[in-house]
Amino acid sequence: MSLLRSRRGWGIGAVVAAGVSGVLIVQGMSGGGADSAADDSKAASGPIASEEYAAALKVAADGGSATLAKRDAKPFSMLGVTWSDPSAKMAGKVEVRTRDAGTDNWSSWLELGTDSGPGEEGATRAGTEPAWVGASDGVEVRVDGKASAELPKGLRVDMIDPGTSSVTDLEPAGYVAAASTESPDPSVTPDVSESPSPTATDSASASESPSAPPTVPPSASESPSSAPVTTPPATTSAPATPTTAPPSTGPTAPPSTAVRPPITLRAGWGADESMSPEAPDYLTGGIKAVVVHHTAETNDYTCDQSPAIIRGIYTYHVKTNGWKDIGYNFLVDKCGTIFEGRKGGVDKPVFGAHAYGFNSQTTGISVLGNYNLVEPPTAVLTSVARLAAWKLGQYGVDPGPTATTTLVAGAAGTSQYNSRTWKTGDQLSFPTIHGHGDGYATECPGTKLYAQLPTIRSYAAGPVTGLTLKSVTGAGTSGTRTYTKSAITVNWSATTPTALIAKFEVLVDGKVAATTAGTATSGNVNLALGTHSVAVRATHISGKATTTAAATVVAETTAPAFTTAPNLSLTTGTVNTTAVPVTLKWKATDAAALKEVRLTAPVAKTYGPTVTSANLTSKSGAATTWSMTAYDQAGNTKAASVAGTPMILQETSATRTGTWTAKSSTSYLGGKSFSSSAKNASMTWTFTGRSAALAVSRASTSGQVNVFVDNVKVATVDLKSATTKYRDAIWTKSWSASAKHTVKIVVVGTTGRPTVTTDGLVYLK
């Protein structure tokens, strides 16, 4: 909501809707200062003409209410209700509803805000806050006055079409009066169709005098006995021919401690600068505080409509209220786009019209929408914080949660939020970022947005919060240390919105090794060999920095070692021609930290750093190479392998003594086995290999055998089993190297269960 500011130093004249003869001095820029590279590039093709229409309200005989019956209207998207006395207040409820130009549906009643306070000095009309209603072609108004107060005179509804067509790219920098004193034709015609009502007229005049301030636009004359005043004509302003007179550049823009956010300048939202040709004024003492507002209109808009909404507010402030320019210094839409408001340079202390009594010490940021019931989006909070940090940072003002400043009241007033009252000249303490309602009796910036001011202050002040080093990838971690050969990716997170973060830096041993944008969540660095401390530092737009706890990262390139090379042996278990049980053994170590050992062929398996063996199976009669690779945490590797061929020797390949009986079954290896119950019956196999396994059939009545290796008894093996088993490798023997060996079994002749059944010998060559 916009409020009074002194209208001093306005130059010698002004262009008004009724038409004042003169020449506009123009300039081809909108005021951006040295940081203009940060401006939003989404510029309109040129200034966009707007049109304004009005219709008088019919006041009831008792003066306590006023209406405008449903009627057609020229296309408009914004409206407000105004009255002729700029100092009068509306003590009543003002509601409007409109007809959608696309669907012909009438909207619900919308209450317009009436607590915005006095308008700018020199204003010609006072009014409600303007409301964006979207493309409309019909209107109805009702005003319910309070019994204790008479409605202000000259009530009318002002409708604005913000336009879509470009008129020129030139921007006026001032106004030079021409020699002609011809007066324009002041007569107007109502621009909306209306059912029979009292005839309305409107007169307008403009004067120039070195000793008096100009009037922009003119006031409508009115007497208590006259019919209601109606509208200024629908006007389309276009810049006049430029002269060579240079514009005033104003004060030098001071640097800021905070990063400047992207800002869409006035040209970007299509400002028709011929509407407000007078030079801007500037704060002599710089900016001491930021005042946050909302426009108190609908939240039901799309962000591509924001430029049109701002053009509507601009037109309402200038053409309807008669202000010098749009009141706000900056505007922010619900998507977080920042727009330049009042002209004069976004990086300069432009004197705005937004906070009655405090305009000479503050800058005003208004959020498009009504935030009494709706929570402001994070994008809004972020952009308001960025902008506030930058503007306050130009003058060394702390935007923090507890920071305050002393402002001198330019007028008596009352706070909406704490009932504090003051007189003109009182010195008052305010937060350096505060709401409009802190300095005036208004709900602005809405209860929901006001409740988020502490968040905005924290966002603006910094530092970055929630900064966490999440992980270091491209390497392995063991305990509290991370290992790499050199390259690492450092990953982090933060809770502060990225738009408020100027940059991230990866620190290695306290020095910057990599710098990323504030939107990044990771960074890559290469480390020299050795042990390092790695951390992440986040710099807020205010320049404040936060650093994470450091992680220890070891860069090393020494490969692991197999202190026990991979070796293969036969093991117990069921033997099949395609799957002979084997055991693979190894031992790997690393100078830093062993991560794992991977078996890559003939099958793929991964084993932890402390595992040194695995039971597997191998196809008989086929040579197989078992390939292994040891990995350390840094990613260094060492490969090793072993080859082996399991062979099955049938009983027919053995030398037998004593009585043996052949048996046939598909359960036996090769479909045949031999049994014997004769004590000392024997069977001997000769082979060249490095491991051997005795395969037998087993049952609850099976007996025992003595096993001899190279003519030396090494074991007595009991074949008894509670369950029947076939092809069971019950006994194994391995050697460190391949050699010629004999394995002999001798039947023990166990009492009560003398029979044994053999199913061959398996050896590994």
- If asked whether residues 709 and 735 sit together in one domain, one would say yes
> 3-class DSSP state for residue 318?
helix
CB atoms within 10 A of CB 754: 18
Domain boundary among the residues 604, 623, 644 is at 644
- If asked whether residues 652 and 505 sit together in one domain, one would say no
CB atoms within 10 A of CB 179: 6
Q: Hey, which residues does 99 pair with through a beta bridge?
A: 106, 138
- If asked whether residues 420 and 526 sit together in one domain, one would say no
- If asked whether residues 606 and 662 sit together in one domain, one would say no
Q: Report the C-alpha gap between 221 and 211 in whole angstroms.
A: 22
pLDDT in the model for residue 42 = 53
Q: In the predicted model, is pLDDT for residue 490 greater than 80?
A: yes
- If asked whether residues 334 and 411 sit together in one domain, one would say yes
The tokens describing 209, both together, are: 């005098």
- If asked whether residues 454 and 324 sit together in one domain, one would say yes
> Higher pLDDT residue, 6 or 371?
371
pLDDT in the model for residue 190 = 36
Exposure string over 396-431, b if 16+ CB within 10 A, otherwise e: ebbbbbebebebbbbbebebbbeeeebeeeeebebb
Total number of domains in the chain:
5
User: What are the residues whose beta carbons fall under 8 Å from the beta carbon of 322, sequence distance 6 or more?
Assistant: 86, 119, 120, 122, 123, 124, 125, 215, 216, 217, 218, 219
- If asked whether residues 347 and 432 sit together in one domain, one would say yes
> 3-class DSSP state for residue 638?
strand
User: What are the residues whose beta carbons fall under 8 Å from the beta carbon of 37, sequence distance 6 or more?
Assistant: none
pLDDT in the model for residue 62 = 86
The tokens describing 571, both together, are: 């093991």
In a domain, 584, yes or no: yes
Exposure string over 249-277, b if 16+ CB within 10 A, otherwise e: ebeebeebbbbbbbbbbbbbbbbbbbbbb
The tokens describing 726, both together, are: 């076939």
Burial (0-12, 13-18, 19+ Cβ within 10 Å), 684: middle
Report the range of poorest mean pLDDT among 14-18, 102-106, 396-400, 661-665.
14-18
- If asked whether residues 332 and 445 sit together in one domain, one would say yes
The tokens describing 275, both together, are: 């509407």
In a domain, 269, yes or no: no
Q: What is the mean pLDDT of residues 189-211?
A: 35
Q: What is the mean pLDDT of residues 104-119?
A: 86
Domain boundary among the residues 581, 609, 644 is at 644
Q: Report the C-alpha gap between 153 and 135 in whole angstroms.
A: 29
The single-letter DSSP state of residue 89 is -
- Percent of the chain scoring above 70 in pLDDT: 82
- If asked whether residues 652 and 633 sit together in one domain, one would say no
pLDDT by residue (tens digit) across 677-717? Answer: 999 999 999 999 999 999 999 999 999 999 999 999 999 99
- If asked whether residues 359 and 456 sit together in one domain, one would say yes
In a domain, 20, yes or no: no
Q: In the predicted model, is pLDDT for residue 147 greater than 70?
A: no
Q: Report the C-alpha gap between 84 and 55 in whole angstroms.
A: 13
In contact, 387 and 462? CB cutoff 8 Å: no
Report the range of poorest mean pLDDT among 89-93, 147-151, 389-393.
147-151
pLDDT by residue (tens digit) across 600-620? Answer: 999 999 999 999 999 999 999
In contact, 418 and 412? CB cutoff 8 Å: no
Report the range of poorest mean pLDDT among 139-153, 362-376, 424-438.
139-153
The tokens describing 348, both together, are: 């300069």
CA-nearest of 269, 323, 336 to 5 is 323
In a domain, 267, yes or no: no
User: Whole-number mean pLDDT of the chain?
Assistant: 85
Q: Identify the CATH number of the domain in which residue 345 sits.
A: 3.40.80.10
pLDDT by residue (tens digit) across 64-97? Answer: 899 999 999 999 999 999 999 998 888 889 999 9
Q: Report the C-alpha gap between 211 and 437 in whole angstroms.
A: 36
pLDDT in the model for residue 184 = 35
pLDDT by residue (tens digit) across 410-465? Answer: 999 999 888 899 999 999 999 999 999 999 999 999 999 999 999 999 999 999 99
In a domain, 83, yes or no: yes
φ and ψ of 96, to 5 deg: -135, 155
In a domain, 482, yes or no: yes
In a domain, 214, yes or no: no
How would you classify the pairing of strands 362-367 and 289-294?
parallel
- If asked whether residues 535 and 681 sit together in one domain, one would say no
pLDDT in the model for residue 166 = 59
Q: In the predicted model, is pLDDT for residue 4 greater than 80?
A: no
Helices (H) and strands (E) in the chain, counts: 4, 46
Q: Identify the CATH number of the domain in which residue 499 sits.
A: 2.60.40.10
- If asked whether residues 435 and 290 sit together in one domain, one would say yes
Q: Report the C-alpha gap between 367 and 627 in whole angstroms.
A: 67
Question: Hey, what's the torsion of the CAs at 11, 14, 20, 23, to 10 degrees?
Answer: 60
* Residue range of the domain that includes 476: 468-551
Q: What is the mean pLDDT of residues 539-551?
A: 96
Q: Report the C-alpha gap between 45 and 388 in whole angstroms.
A: 29
Q: Report the C-alpha gap between 177 and 663 in whole angstroms.
A: 127
In a domain, 120, yes or no: yes
Domain boundary among the residues 596, 626, 644 is at 644
